Amino acid sequence: MVIMTEDQKMIYFMKRIVAGEKIEADDWMPREYRDTLIKLISMHGMSEIMGALPEKEWVPKAPSLYRKLGIMAKVQDEMGHGQLLLRVVEDLLKPYGKTRGDLMQDLFNEDLKFHNVFHMETKTWADAGLIGWLVDGAAIITQTNMLGASYGPYAKALQRICAEEVFHAQHGEAIIMALAEGTDVQKAMVQDALNRWWPSLLMFFGPESKATTGTSKQEATIRYKIRINTNEELRQSFLDKYVPRILSLGMTIPDETIYFNEESKEWIYQQPDWAEFRKIISNNGPRSQARLNLRRSSYENNAWVREALSAKVN
């Protein structure tokens, strides 16, 4: 067996990446690749779990038996995605001797962040529909972009997640359509939800470049073939797909300046407040601390259960 130096391993690894091969959990990988994946997937996994909290607020209140069943299934899926993704991260963390418990602590210590959208308040039932339709719609765009990710276990988890997200978007769209075609109060409710969520939806894809927020994972993730497109390209795809649909439901885009530039083939739109974005993702959004507290307190409150399950009893 030929023993390779670190440099040779790196050259071989990059050859595999360029050739489109899948890297598996036990394969050699450079630290930067492992750390990028850990950061990306733990943030994705924790966002699924934190993302269950704004929607769960509407589960008991869902306005019919049918909607109650639908939203229960939807939120359950999100928790399932969280579980699937944390399992992928757990394997990556092994060489560092870290576990899922450490990830929870990282979340509580605020070292591990979650997606900007899940820091926001939900005010009406329309928000529950809008999250399903447009937040999951945005997630489908970013996640399908990584379906061919070079890291095999992540790509496999994403296959299943994306398949379910399509149902979620349809579930959300059905709620929105009922409201958009409903009474004046319902129509106003859905427009109000869109107005409030619009900046968060634009922010969802992240800033165009690192210059905006100081850090960005996009260069490394593209170099290692974890994803294909840039943040801005993904945001443009979102606008391509959803602006016409929003308009066709009789709603207005809460940005008077938005238009499609036929020459450059791109949407020109009002930039969201990126200073606000930085504030939100550093856990200073409207509901950041309340949701973290809910997660912390339920974790502490149930500590006795985890202890009981792991106790060795004669």
Instruction: Identify which of residues 62 and 220 has a Cβ nearer to other proteins in the complex.
Output: 62
Q: Compute the least distance from the CB of residue 141 to other proteins, in Å.
A: 25
Please say whether the beta carbons of 187 and 250 come within 8 A.
yes
User: Distance of CA 198 to CAs 74, 120, 238, Å?
Assistant: 22, 12, 12
Q: Compute the least distance from the CB of residue 35 to other proteins, in Å.
A: 23
DSSP secondary structure letters along 15-60: HHHHTTPPB-TTS---HHHHHHHHHHHHHHHHHHHHHHHHHHTTTT
Using the 8-state DSSP alphabet, how is residue 285 labeled? S
Instruction: Identify which of residues 22 and 187 has a Cβ nearer to other proteins in the complex.
Output: 187
Instruction: Identify which of residues 184 and 262 has a Cβ nearer to other proteins in the complex.
Output: 184
**In terms of DSSP H, where are the helices of 111-217?**
125-130, 136-144, 152-180, 184-203, 210-213
- Distance, CA of 261 to CA of 240 (rounded, Å): 12
Q: Compute the least distance from the CB of residue 61 to other proteins, in Å.
A: 5
Instruction: Identify which of residues 95 and 182 has a Cβ nearer to other proteins in the complex.
Output: 182
Instruction: Identify which of residues 165 and 255 has a Cβ nearer to other proteins in the complex.
Output: 165
User: Distance of CA 203 to CAs 94, 211, 247, Å?
Assistant: 33, 15, 21
Please report, as a single letter, which amino acid is at residue 20: G
Q: Compute the least distance from the CB of residue 74 to other proteins, in Å.
A: 10
- Distance, CA of 196 to CA of 31 (rounded, Å): 40
Instruction: Identify which of residues 196 and 235 has a Cβ nearer to other proteins in the complex.
Output: 196
- Distance, CA of 59 to CA of 308 (rounded, Å): 30
Q: Compute the least distance from the CB of residue 153 to other proteins, in Å.
A: 17
Q: Compute the least distance from the CB of residue 185 to other proteins, in Å.
A: 6
Using the 8-state DSSP alphabet, how is residue 260 labeled? E
Q: Compute the least distance from the CB of residue 257 to other proteins, in Å.
A: 34
- Distance, CA of 21 to CA of 1 (rounded, Å): 22
Q: Compute the least distance from the CB of residue 179 to other proteins, in Å.
A: 8
Reference 161, options 296, 26, 51, 36; nearest CA is 51
Instruction: Identify which of residues 126 and 234 has a Cβ nearer to other proteins in the complex.
Output: 126
Reference 205, options 272, 288, 138, 286; nearest CA is 138
Binding site for other proteins (CB under 8 A): 49, 52-53, 56-69, 72-73, 75-76, 79-80, 82-83, 86, 125, 175, 178-179, 182-183, 185-186, 290, 293-294, 297-298, 301-302, 304-309, 311, 313
Instruction: Identify which of residues 8 and 76 has a Cβ nearer to other proteins in the complex.
Output: 76
Q: Compute the least distance from the CB of residue 4 to other proteins, in Å.
A: 38
Instruction: Identify which of residues 76 and 271 has a Cβ nearer to other proteins in the complex.
Output: 76
Please say whether the beta carbons of 140 and 166 come within 8 A.
yes
